[in-house]
Structure 1
Amino acid sequence: MRDLRCLARFAASAALTVSVAVSLAGCKTMGMADVTGSLGGRNEASTDPNRAVEIAGDRYRSRPNDPDAAIAYGNALRAIGQRAQAVAVLEKASLANPSNKAVRAAYGRALADNGNFQLAFDTLSRAHSPDNPDWRILSVQGTVLDQMGRNEEARRYYASALRLAPDEPSVLSNLGMSYVLTKELPKAEQTLRQAYANGRADSRVRQNLALVIGLQGRYAEAESIVRADLPPDEAAANVAYLKEMVSGHDTARAAGRGVLASGR
């Protein structure tokens, strides 16, 4: 339930003009890895993140100069929220393998997770080239720009990614959430529905669509989408939590206006 509740906190903040960047930065499960498609393969023990860290860490320590081992360990650390440690591992690997673009890409994503957005963007820019662009990296660069408040520029990166990977659901999902950040909820829903219709859409796409639908007050419809990934009672609880958060912020704003009015 924690993942969707984290999304709910983000959504309530975005919809009510609280700083979205702060919401994202303070939300463990809504990091860059959750917003975007993966730049590398999933770790071999993804169902148990702590076990994955043990396996990847042992491999890394036995082969400290292996860039693939460093990437796997860094990704495993990111998955359990050890962002600073992931940055340290991947920074070392990047210095040891300056021409390895896969290491640069992983390092850039770790920097973004850790809130080092400008350095992340610059690092990701060096992980591919204009004559050989990688749609995955373009999409991650878009999410970094969104978190820097450069939404229109971010959408140009998503458009470039979609030219290389038409209808890619992870990119469309990122674009949809970009519209959430600027409170363009109908556009967000339209884009996320396009992603949702793709057979390769994963749970993150469904959660984002449910989020946008819930933000527009259609809670029953949002719950029906969330049920694809959660038991009915948990789905209902998460949507109820979203409704409570949105209503709670509205109440706070109304109370604030009341204080101002009475103070005139």
Structure 2
Amino acid sequence: MAACVTSLRPALLRGAALVVIALAMAGCAAKSNLTTGSIARTSKPVGEMNATELRNAADSIGKAYEKNPRDPQTGMNYASVLRMNGRNDQALAVMQQVAISNPNNREVLAAYGKAQAAAGQLQQALDTILRAQTPDRPDWRLKSAEGAILDQLGRSGEARQRYREALDIQPNEPSVLSNLGMSYVLARDLKTAETYLRSAASQPGADSSVRQNLALAVGLQGRFQEAEAIARQELTAAQAEANVTYLRAMLTQQNAWKKLAANDSGNTN
């Protein structure tokens, strides 16, 4: 999750409301699938890269994109790495071009929506995601992405309905359960959030980002040692220390997270 944490820092420091969008829309799980195999791919999973490696990956995939800017997979890979480097505006520009060249590709439209959300264009992102979805063949990934945007727009009831619709299509999908849990984090219902996040983390397909979300929910309730233990799982020593350091800073930042956890005691969402 170290790379995901790096990409999320600016959003998280602006407030909890951006957490769901960052996690659900930036696609940490999808990014980690960029592996060796072509010039547009990377030498190891992106989720395991440090900042220097991410910059190098952006340069490498950028060269492949320059050679063939119409190729959907190269464009999506490039936009993903750009977002992880904090270059959201450039990622959006890349996906705009890819979407123009591939107007009927649902995967491209979904990635375009992710880029729009990461750049703060939430209503446009929602419109793009809805355009990519087809009622006769609904895609659970798009349902989850739609929920993430609705959460950011403050429409939590609708957001959770989309997550549950996604789970009807793809039962026990950890990324959707994680998004649902983070929806309750935004609502300050940390106990319910922890329940969903623990369920997400227990699924076979759960990745490190899911466990980092669980660590956040646990830490917000004041159980800092337990949160740190969760945050250190399945990471290298350097990655774990970076995540724990960031987790500590986030939980103590202007006491905002502690206050959020304290206010949870009477929450009934």
TM-score interval (norm. to shorter) = 0.7 to 0.9
C-alpha spacing 1:8/1:116, structure 2 compared with 1 (3 Å): closer
Q: Identity across aligned pairs (percent)?
A: 39
C-alpha spacing 1:245/1:6, structure 2 compared with 1 (3 Å): farther
**Which whole-Å CA distance do the structure 1 matches of 2:110 and 2:68 have between them?**
20
Partner of residue 129, structure 1:
134
Say if 1:8 and 1:242, in contact at 8 Å, map to a contact too: no
Partner of residue 124, structure 2:
119
- Larger Rg computed on CA atoms: 1
Which of residues 169, 184, 190 is equivalent to 2:174?
169
Shift of 1:157: 0.7
Which of residues 62, 65, 69 is equivalent to 1:64?
69
Unaligned runs of 5+ in 1: 15-19, 252-264
Deviation sequence 1:217-247 (CA, Å, 0-9, x none): 1111111111213637556644543443264
Residue 38 of structure 1 pairs with residue 30 of structure 2:
yes
Counterpart amino acid of 1:245?
Q
Deviates more, 1:239-248 or 1:85-94: 239-248
Which of residues 224, 230, 244 is equivalent to 2:252?
244
Residue 223 of structure 1 pairs with residue 228 of structure 2:
yes
Equivalent residues in 2 for 1:197-236, closer than 5 Å: 197-228=202-233, 229=235, 231=237
Partner of residue 153, structure 2:
148
Say if 1:227 and 1:235, in contact at 8 Å, map to a contact too: yes
Partner of residue 260, structure 1:
none
Say if 1:11 and 1:211, in contact at 8 Å, map to a contact too: no
Counterpart amino acid of 1:241?
A
C-alpha spacing 1:217/1:165, structure 2 compared with 1 (3 Å): same
Secondary structure of 1:172's counterpart equals helix
Shift of 1:76: 2.3
C-alpha spacing 1:179/1:96, structure 2 compared with 1 (3 Å): same
Size of the alignment, in residue pairs?
241
Say if 2:20 and 2:179, in contact at 8 Å, map to a contact too: no
Say if 1:8 and 1:241, in contact at 8 Å, map to a contact too: no
Say if 2:178 and 2:197, in contact at 8 Å, map to a contact too: yes
Q: Which one scores higher on RCO, CA 8 angstroms, separation ≥ 6?
A: 1
CA RMSD of aligned residues (A): 3.1
